[in-house]
Copies of this chain bind each other. A is one copy, B any other.
Amino acid sequence: MNDSNPALDLVLQSALLWSTMVKKADQQLSVHGISFSEFCILHRLFQAPQQRMSRIELANSVGLSASGITRLLQPMEKIHLVEKEQNARDARVSLVKLSDTGLQIYQEANQSCAFFASQFTSPLTARQLETLAELLARL
């Protein structure tokens, strides 16, 4: 009757884990006035060469749709966390660039988020953390 299925169990287990994790991260980041999604954006931009990316690249890198990016970026532009730039070669793409204030907010938020992350993963040893990351990277 109860044909336990490890793969299915894993999927359900992690879905629950992930949803609670994001909620907690959101809470931690709220003091900086940004959401977890916004932090992901800033993080990707920070990592990008010249801290600038196309919106589509950005969408893929954080797992959102193109329209999701458009709407998420609108308020971020308004408060000048990011800037809109045009691509000289291709007039379709509009680049997103991390602004100075965006960089500052990112660095502050990064502290909070890093603290949260280390707290969240504290039940694991460094070695286990590494193993976990490795296994997840295969999926």
Residues of A within 8 A of B (CB): 5-22, 25, 36, 40, 43, 61-64, 110, 113-114, 116-118, 120-121, 123-124, 126, 128-133, 135-139
Contact = CB atoms under 8 A, between A and B. Distances in A.
Contacts of A11: 21, 25, 113, 116-117, 120-121
B139 A135 contact: no
Contacts of A7: 114, 117-118, 120-121, 129
A5 B128 contact: no
As for how many copies of this chain the complex holds, the number is 2
Contact of A136 (B62, B118, B132): B132
Given A120-B139, A138-B123, A133 B63 contact: no
